[in-house]
Amino acid sequence: MDITNTPYWILEFIKVLLGYLVVEFLWPRLVFNRHLSGKSMLYQFSFCVTVQTVLINTVVLGLGLLHILNQWVVRTVFWGVPLILLYRRLGVTEEKAVSFADRLLVFRFKLLFKRLAWAAADRARRLWRSIRPHLMEYLLLGGVAVYALIYLSWGAFQTCCYGFGDQYVHHSWCYGLMEGQPFSGGIYPEAMHCLLYTINTVLGVQIFSLVLFFGSIQGVVFLIASYCLCRELFGWRYTPILMLAAFILLVAIGGVEVTGMARLQFTLPQEFGFAPQMLCVMYFIRYLRAREVQKPFGSGRLAGFFLEPNLFLFMMALAATIASHFYPTITAFFMCLGVSIFYLRRVFSKKRFLSLALAVLCGVLIAVTPMMGALASGIKFQGSMGWALNVIQGTGEESRQIWQETEHVGQSQQGEHPLPSGNKIGTALGKGFQILCRGYAEVIGTERTTFYVILLPVILLVCLLLKFIIHLLKGTIADWTGKEGINLNWLDGYFLLVIMFFILMLVYIAPYLGIPELISGVRIASTQRILFFAVAAIPLDFVFILLAVWLKTVVLRGISVFALLAICVWASSEKNYHGYLYYELSRYRIAVEVMESIINTYPDFSYTVVSPTDSLYQGIENGWHEELLIFIRQTAEERYFLPSEYVFIFVEKRPLEYAQRYFFTGPSWLALEKHAGEWGSQAPNVKSSEISKEEAEKELMDLPVPFQCYTNWESRTIIESKAYYWCQRFIELYPNEMSVYYEDDSFVCYYFHQNPHSPFNLALHGKD
């Protein structure tokens, strides 16, 4: 019996993607049409990613705190606002309505369809006019984004289950919003949950599908936001695309690096905040680079200060990071700190400082107001807030131990170089250099750590030298190139990239220096890796800028396409090409498929599924669930009933090691199989044990937390063995009642049909 239904999951993925585009992009484009009309595509993208995220978070949580959060209110707000605005823009009167009705009666719908077609064609022409000058750039960027989307979503299609334990928690918080309860797990940034809840409510996309697939979509949005930031810092338009291609194609060697890449495919609040994080830094840079006051406001002492579009989007991006997760906010702070060092005079200038301070204050207040409202209503902070403080204090589970002096970084690459004795400064510098090498080795996963540690100051010195030469020979260069004004933003951008990368590296190696760890290393790995490839692309960008002096743009465009193809060819070698990512496997794919088959076949709440906790989240909106652990304990009593018409029992004949690193497999054009072995299992094989009569006769393990009975491999084997042999005993007693719904070598699903008003006594203890 083959119940694998790949087309179903493809359709669910399309629903999630379209739902995100409708809620996050189409809706604000309609509602804020007057504001966005005529704005650049970059502005519109940034507006939708930041403002819409903050707006949904504020509205949903506000409705929840007012105890009026339900699907009808949300649908009324979501669909009602565009209709009201459309009504006002059309200036509908009674006469116009009668005239419109008469036209419909006379011409039926022909005229209406023609007008809609004309409006759509006009919008398409305007869009084409804005895209056409940079068509090749957008095509290449789209190609990289599509490839990244396939790469990041591959695991969800191969396993069809959640790949990280926290996804179950975030599913439950989304379900809390469906029940009208915000902050159901305690006060915690809920922007991602509010967005998923809105897509579910207004478009009907299942929460399970949203949590399963949304991670890959938000990962791609993060890459596009990173492109926008690098587009601001590089001098040639195609360099950021080349950088992104290298980021997504090249191999991830180090464990931190692989884990950071794997997290991009999971639906997690921190990764949801990565895109606003990059946009926050970008608009902070754009604000500081602006020379003219665009929108002055205030009078008296406030006269001359200004709030302009870049500052507005910086403020909203900051609010979006806080509303998503605090770690992206901290990362954005350190990146902006690096920018501030370079633009120190502009940050503290009379024109900018007060506006900047007010924007930061407003952004923080916008994001934390719902949280403060929840705190005032008696809701406590979520437990992980304390965990984050433990990480900062160096006592969290993800916190790394202080590096001992006896350890040496990358000895196989660096060699044994004892630190000089009798020279404290030299010793400190040598130790600092080794720690930097260790940071590079962990984050970047490269063996050439010394080279890249030295590369940063070299790039800075070269940039300083270039800036000095250009300033000194400005007139000569202008005569040579025929250009009066020389834009040095690209040169400043090089400085900013190097400074931001170096500061984040200092944040990463903080625990090795004895400094509190503000961000656990794995949580900045992706951002750090993006910045690393951006720094590595600086020489390439500089070459393109030099070529632009002599070559036409169309020639440079062709060279850029060739460079992209060269990167793809170079990366496709077995040594350089990336491997498949992994999931922390929690159940067999077939268990997910069987659960989905039951949901689609049987009436809602006519059945009970007996299984470990993981299946609860998939079927919570459709049927009843009984914990397998409780089932085993209760069947040993005198009386035990499950009063539903159908009862399904999931049993793993080969209990899997819970949360094992399960690396995917697939076509060689997508990735290579190169991370299995000591790092984890390689699909389709999993690490599993065997059920047996001996295991079934053992006593259940008494662990502190009931869920640990599933995560502990030995305990899981005992539970699954007891469940299997209980089913065999039930079949012996009632051979005509129990049937096999699905079975293979690793998994079996039994089921029976009963009268809900007279259910079977499932406690078989003592029965012959």
CA distances for 270 relative to 54, 116, 507, 519, 575, angstroms: 15, 41, 17, 12, 31
Lowest mean pLDDT among 248-262, 410-424, 571-585, 747-761: 410-424
Q: Is the predicted pLDDT of residue 444 greater than 70, yes or no?
A: no
Structure confidence at residue 417 (pLDDT): 35
In angstroms, the CA 92 to CA 751 distance is 59
What pLDDT, on a 0 to 100 scale, did the predictor assign at position 596?
A: 92
Q: Which two tokens stand for residue 333?
A: 């702070």
> In this predicted model, which residue has the larger pLDDT, 678 or 176?
176
Distance CA 12, CA 278 (A): 29
Distances (CA, A) of 167 to 161, 208, 256, 269, 556: 10, 10, 20, 10, 45
64 membership: H or E segment, kind and range? helix 41-65
Q: What is the pLDDT of residue 552?
A: 85
Distance CA 624, CA 607 (A): 6
Cβ neighbors of 517 (< 8 A, separation 6 or more) are 391, 392, 394, 396, 399, 400, 510, 511
Instruction: Return d(Cα 447, Cα 575) in angstroms, integer.
Output: 13
Tens-place pLDDT, residues 234-253 = 989 999 999 999 999 987 66
pLDDT of residue 420: 38
pTM, two decimals, is: 0.88
pLDDT at residue 52 greater than cutoff 90: yes
* pLDDT-derived band at 402, boundaries 50, 70, 90: very low
pLDDT > 60? residue 95: no
Strands (E), 452-599: 582-585
For residue 7, is pLDDT > 80? yes
Q: How far apart are CA 298 and CA 510, in angstroms?
A: 43
Confidence bin at 93 (pLDDT 50/70/90): low
What are the backbone dihedrals phi and psi of residue 167, each rounded to the nearest 5 degrees, phi first?
Answer: -65, -30
Which position has the higher pLDDT, 14 or 549?
A: 14
Distance CA 722, CA 694 (A): 10
Query: pLDDT tens, 582-616?
Result: 999 999 999 999 999 999 999 999 999 999 998 89
* Angle, CA 105 vertex, CA 100 and CA 109 arms, to 5°: 80
pLDDT score recorded for residue 288: 92
Q: Is the pLDDT of residue 14 over 90?
A: yes
pLDDT in tens, 219-239: 999 999 999 999 999 989 999
Each residue's pLDDT tens digit, 129-146 = 878 888 889 999 999 999
CB 37 within 8 A of CB 46: no
pLDDT digits (tens, 9 = 90+) for 711-744: 999 999 999 999 999 999 999 888 888 999 999 9
Q: What per-residue confidence (pLDDT) applies to 228?
A: 95
Predicted pLDDT of residue 392: 47
Q: Which residue has the tokens 């003592």?
A: 766
Confidence of residue 765 (pLDDT cuts 50, 70, 90): low
Mean pLDDT computed over 40-53: 94
User: Across 271-280, 395-404, 410-419, which has the greatest mean pLDDT?
Assistant: 271-280
CB 739 within 8 A of CB 754: no
* Predicted pLDDT at 304: 46
**Average pLDDT of 43-67?**
95
Half-sphere exposure of 314 (CA within 13 A, CB side): 23
